[in-house]
Amino acid sequence: ICRAYETLSDSTKRKLYDTRQEWVFELRIDKYIAQQLASESALIDDLTERLRNATLAELNAQDPSTGHTTLYCAARAGNIEAVLFLIEQGAE
């Protein structure tokens, strides 16, 4: 979702996607917020590494622009592994 948004929101990247059918992204994984990591099942290792020792406040933090929590983003994206991990960590 996040890589798609980054690609589709930039006209040059969108044209490259249209011709190559490849996502073009430049945002480094370490710059992703937890909600972005939770939205992509391929990034589960990055999510668990980042949030393994997180406080409840960090787990339940809301994205400043959308108000969505990490758990909400994982559930909305259908990322069951992330949902289970977040619930085990105490996320609400």
- The mean pLDDT value for 42-70 works out to 93
Do 68 and 43 lie in a common domain?
A: yes
pLDDT category, 57, cuts 50, 70, 90? very high
Q: For residues 68 and 82, what is the distance between their CA atoms, to the nearest angstrom?
A: 15
Do 43 and 82 lie in a common domain?
A: yes
The one-letter amino acid at 62:
Q
For the question of whether the overall pTM of this predicted structure is more than 0.85, the answer is: no
Contacts of 32 by beta carbon, 8 Å cutoff, 6+ apart = 2, 43, 46
Q: For residues 4 and 13, what is the distance between their CA atoms, to the nearest angstrom?
A: 10
Full residue range of the structural domain in which residue 52 is found: 32-92
| Structure tokens that stand for 9 in this block | 């929101």
- The mean pLDDT value for 15-24 works out to 62
End-to-end Cα distance, the chain? 22
pLDDT category, 40, cuts 50, 70, 90? confident
> Residue 30's pLDDT is what?
83
Q: For residues 34 and 73, what is the distance between their CA atoms, to the nearest angstrom?
A: 9
Q: For residues 82 and 71, what is the distance between their CA atoms, to the nearest angstrom?
A: 8
* Percentage, residues of the chain above pLDDT 90: 48
Do 86 and 62 lie in a common domain?
A: yes
> Residue 9's pLDDT is what?
53
State yes or no: pLDDT of 53 exceeds 90.
yes
Do 22 and 41 lie in a common domain?
A: no
Do 42 and 85 lie in a common domain?
A: yes
Count: domains in the chain:
2
Do 3 and 41 lie in a common domain?
A: no
How many alpha carbons lie under 13 Å from residue 81 in its C-beta half-sphere? 11
